Structure 1
Amino acid sequence: MMLDLVLKNAQIALPGGDLSFGAVGVKDGRIAVIAEAADDLAARETIDCGGLLLLPGVVDPHVHFDFGNPETDFETESRAAALGGTTSILSFHRSKDIRDSFPVVKERAERQSCIDFGLHFGLTSQLHVETLEEISRRFGVTSFKLYMMYKGAAGAAKGFTEIDDALLYTALRATAAIPGAVMGVHCENVEVIPVLRPPLKAAGRNDLKAWNEQSPGFLEAENVFRVCYFAAQTGTPVNIVHMSAGDSLEIVRQQRKMRGRSGPPIHVETCPHYLVVDDEWPAGVLAKVNPPVRGRADIEALWEGVFDGSVTTIGSDHVARKRETKDKDIWGASAGFPGSGLLLPLMLHEGFHRRGLPLSRIVELTSANAARIYNMPSKGAIAVGKDADLLVVDPDLERTVDHAVSESYSDYSPYQGMRLKGWPVRTLVRGRTVMQDGRITDEARANPWGRYLERMPR
């Protein structure tokens, strides 16, 4: 068989955790063969990996590709993601009626994205719940998100007037009826924040720690318990997205133990910034995000969950706004920041090099688990039959974070100037090189080939 591509002389991260020195052959965008040597593999193109790591492409399950410039985000932000080794993303989409808005977003993304993509649907009304089965089936989407932080006055300020416990319950019940579906929830009890915020503002506080203190970790943890309890009553798989607090993780551990193996799963996603950035980070307001970054104790508690398996996935929560939306005091600045292209480098630097996190665990957290949870059977592993989403990674390469070369619409980074060890030097999406040696290829710029990921089990 004549292969399209062979990647040889690589340390291949195979499922199960082993590194195997050998070669990977690609045909028609999929992995066709994994061999100990490339001697007998005939191909139109051969890439010598020079003994570097060959990892599955990153599956980033948490990005917002329409919060910067909706007209161009899938172009700029897919390039930013590919620079850091991300080959598939799931972006959040919400509108008044998703039946009307989905085709427009999908068509635009198919024209612009140089990596594969899918969507989560944001649920903010009973109309969304009533149409959930229809939009899931029509558009191949099996993951949804409900925003507990937009209850009451906080939601009304955003135009959301129906987010309450009734919507949570009915949305969980509707999700449970859809095969393979999972409900993600932003857990943050905003009803207590009006008690905590005024004294901080009155004291003239304008620091990152004040943002943490106005929405402390126990407000997230309380919501985590509520979501887990409601999910148990409805039999719904849930995902606690962007978990920031150690108390929240402990509640999940307790709930998992109570349910045993027979109950619906409780997944936990955290983000690199909750593992790296504390509430005294020198970037200050540039690191404002919801939920807030916490103190060192929470960072260490989440790292414990990364090591012991309590944390399921890592998502970037990437938002590509301009710095001008941040150049205000802590109370008026926008929340969120860019980070998709740094997901893997941060995990390699902070996890693999500084803490000794096994490479196999990084692959689980950044690729395999998200592919499994979100119904992407062709993604997440280097195995015959899978899409050839592959990364050639130099674990010893050091680079300094610089937003100027990030390709993102955003013009800042809370990690600016940070020296990270461990970067991909080539990113392939279905066997085609998108990034090489720190730059997006001319072919990927001229001919983006990102594909929509329909995830409804057939």
Structure 2
Amino acid sequence: MEEIKIVNGILVTSQGKTRGGLTIGGGKISGLGDDARLSRARKEIDARGCFILPGIIDPHTHLGRDKEELFRTQCRSESISAALGGITTMMTTARFGNPTEARLAAYRKAKEIGRSFSFIDFKFNAFMTNQKHLDEIDALMEEGVSSFKLMMAYTREEAKQIGLEGIDWGYAYKLFERISRLGPPAMAQIHCEEPEIIHLLRNQLMEKGRADIAAWTESRPSLCETMQLCDAAVLAQALKTPLYIVHISAKESVEALRFFKGKNPAIYGETCPHYLTLQRNPACGILAKVNPPLRDLPDQDRIWAGLGEGTLDTVGSDHVVYLREDKEKGIWKAPAGFGAIGATLPLLVSEGIHKGRLTWEQLVRATSENVAKIFQLFPRKGCLQIGSDADIIIVDPEREWILGTETLQSSADFSVYEGKRVKGKVVNTFVRGNLIVDEGRLIAEKAIGEYAGTRG
């Protein structure tokens, strides 16, 4: 007899939808298909009127910033917010300690913390800023860290603000070359924004006395993102390096990515929910300061289309917890970013599926299957297959609710989506067969997260 049986739902994969259900045993999907053919189970869940999806894998979060204690508390708080939003695995980084020193010990410590405090599975991406970081790539790979990120946009004061060292294309060349020699699952990641133009425009706007949220967008125009995307794509193609480009925000960047995908199948693009749903001059003002900045309706339309056609591969939240007091420092000094990890699925369902911009199959492809394949977790995760981890969510597509700090349950004390009504809500979340969210409420009493590295 199986442990759990889910019946009367609509199973969704990237290939299509079918009526039926599944069974769970030993933390894995043990049966799949027509309800009448499923084995008996000790517990049965009726998913009538709901969709059964593989759990979301969020490829892009920032927990704890530069403090170990903050990393510990956010492993708990943000994994709960994630689980309520249907996320069963999140990828983050460990920046606590001295980020300019070797990072192996920090990632080992972060693994211990994650296993003790996270309610969902997790995996790490590593920031790369100096030779010490390059020297420990092999050791990090053995720990299951396989993606290595360059923050090209951060130089001068912006780099100091987040505790990183500014880097150049010579360093990027060395990293890409090293990753190419290592082979899969090693992969480069890059935040694309050209810093020198940003520095020039920022100073010009500051001299004019501009301090509004729209000035932030004007200081970081689309061309800065697209220029660096093209540079990175050319380098990756020349060195045969798998490349993952984070948080694409501009229509020109989508077109550039489409061009380079025609030449290099190992280049991948990610966007974020805020580039699909928010524009410059949002009602929440400076709270929505983010890098790259919010843009305009034509950018949104092209990003939705890029997601549907497959030019954009994934959706990541770029979740980072800041408080209102952090954002009160003014547009030029306030930190960039905000928390919204639990809003990804409801926004994609409400603004994408219900408005005809996205299908359920495309949603599964962008939030689960593609992420698992790109980060070498497939088919253990990211799909509904017999033998895969029972990372499963049940979604009521018609349930309406309000996004905000109270409902998202992050440790952030504001939400850029405060008061937004959405249609589509996670009813149940399973992580490796463990039911941790039931009827939209956390029922797990303790953390069950495990490291989802390809090794280690």
- With the shorter chain as reference, the TM-score category is over 0.9
- The offset of 1:177, in angstroms, is 2.0
Partner in structure 1 of residue 454 of structure 2: 455
Alignment of 1:23-38 (within 5 A): 23-38=21-36
* Contact 1:29 1:432 (C-alpha < 8 Å) held by counterparts: yes
Corresponding position: 1:429 with 2:431: yes
Q: Is the aligned partner of 1:48 residue 2:46?
A: yes
Match of 1:89 in 2: 90
In 2: Cα distance, 1:450 partner to 1:57 partner: 14
Distance change >3 Å, CA 324–CA 157, structure 1 → 2: closer
CA distance in 1, matches of 2:222, 2:155: 18
Contact 1:14 1:383 in 2 (8 A): no
State the one-letter code of the partner of 2:420: M
Please show how residues 348-359 of structure 1 align to structure 2 within 5 Å. Answer: 348-359=349-360
The equivalent of 2:168 in structure 1 is: 164
Corresponding residue for residue 395 of structure 2? 393
Amino acid at match of 1:90: M
1:177 aligned to 177, 181, 197, which one?
Answer: 181
Looking at structure 2, the residues matched to 46 and 160 of structure 1 have their Cα atoms a distance apart, in angstroms, of 50
Write the mapping of 1:238-317 to structure 2, written as runs, cut at 5 A: 238-257=243-262, 259=263, 263=264, 265-317=266-318
> SS at the partner of 1:285?
helix
**TM-score calculated relative to the size of structure 2:** 0.94
> How many Å apart are 1:264 and its aligned residue?
5.0
CA distance 1:157–1:440, change in 2 (3 Å): closer
Q: Secondary structure at the match of 1:211?
A: helix
What residue in structure 1 maps to residue 232 of structure 2? 227
Flag the 1:31–1:333 CA change in 2: closer, same or farther, 3 A: same
**Cα shift at 1:71:** 2.8
Which residue identity does 1:423 align to in structure 2?
K
CA RMSD of the aligned region, Å? 1.6
Instruction: State the TM-score, normalizing by the size of structure 1.
Output: 0.94
Q: CA deviation at 1:356?
A: 3.9
Letter in 2 for 1:73: Q
Q: Which residue identity does 1:92 align to in structure 2?
A: T
Amino acid at match of 2:392: L
2 CA distance for matches of 1:381 and 1:369? 10
Matched residue type, 2:414: Y
Aligned to 1:407: 409
Give the C-alpha shift of residue 352 in structure 1.
0.2
Structure 1 residues 330 and 153: alpha-carbon distance in aligned structure 2, compared to 1, 3 A threshold: closer
Residue type at the aligned position of 1:132: I
1:32-61 CA-partner distances (Å, limit 9, x unpaired): 011311465211111111231111110000
CA distance in 2, matches of 1:142, 1:151: 25
Q: Distance in 2 between matches of 1:240 and 1:32?
A: 35
Letter in 2 for 1:331: W
Decide whether the 8 Å contact of 1:232 with 1:264 is kept in 2: no
Answer yes or no: is the 8 Å Cα contact 1:63–1:316 preserved in 2.
Answer: yes
Q: Tell me the secondary structure at the aligned position of residue 290 of structure 2.
A: coil
What secondary structure, in the 3-state scheme, does the structure 2 residue paired with 1:375 have? coil
Matched, 1:72 2:77: no
- Percentage of pairs with the same residue: 35
Alignment match, 2:4:
5
**Alpha-carbon separation, structure 2, partners of 1:365 and 1:328:** 35
Judged with a 3 Å threshold, the aligned counterparts in structure 2 of structure 1 residues 160 and 37 are, in CA distance, closer, same or farther, namely closer
Q: Is the 8 A contact 2:189 2:244 kept in 1?
A: yes
- Looking at structure 1, the residues matched to 414 and 393 of structure 2 have their Cα atoms a distance apart, in angstroms, of 26
1:155 and 1:205 mapped to 2: Cα distance? 22
C-alpha contact (below 8 Å) 2:23/2:38 kept by paired residues: no
- Whole-angstrom CA distance in 1 between matches of 2:441 and 2:4: 21
Choose 313-322 or 94-103, whichever is displaced more. Answer: 94-103
SS of the residue aligned with 1:150?
coil
* Contact 1:375–1:456 (8 Å) recurs in 2: no
Q: CA deviation at 1:283?
A: 0.9
Instruction: For structure 1, list consecutive stretches of 5 or more residues without a partner in the other structure.
Output: none
C-alpha separation in 2, matches of 1:356 and 1:297 = 14
2:224 and 2:345 mapped to 1: Cα distance?
29
- Structure 2: distance between partners of 1:87 and 1:159: 29
Structure 2 CA distance for partners of 1:149 and 1:132, relative to 1, 3 Å: same
Question: Does the 8 A contact of 1:180 with 1:456 survive in 2?
Answer: no
Amino acid corresponding to residue 56 of structure 1 in structure 2 = P
Over 3 Å counting, the alpha-carbon distance change for 1:158 and 1:34 in structure 2 is closer
Counting matched residue pairs gives 447
Q: Tell me the SS of whatever aligns to 2:400.
A: strand
Q: Residues 94-173 of structure 1 correspond to what in structure 2 (within 5 A)? A: 94=95, 95=99, 96-137=101-142, 139-152=143-156, 154-155=158-159, 158-161=162-165, 163-173=167-177
Q: Is the 8 A contact 2:118 2:449 kept in 1?
A: yes
In 1: Cα distance, 2:275 partner to 2:46 partner: 36
Structure 1 Cα separation of the partners of residues 277 and 407 of structure 2? 22
Does the CA-based 8 Å contact 1:33-1:384 persist in structure 2?
A: yes
Worse overlay, 296-305 or 413-422: 296-305
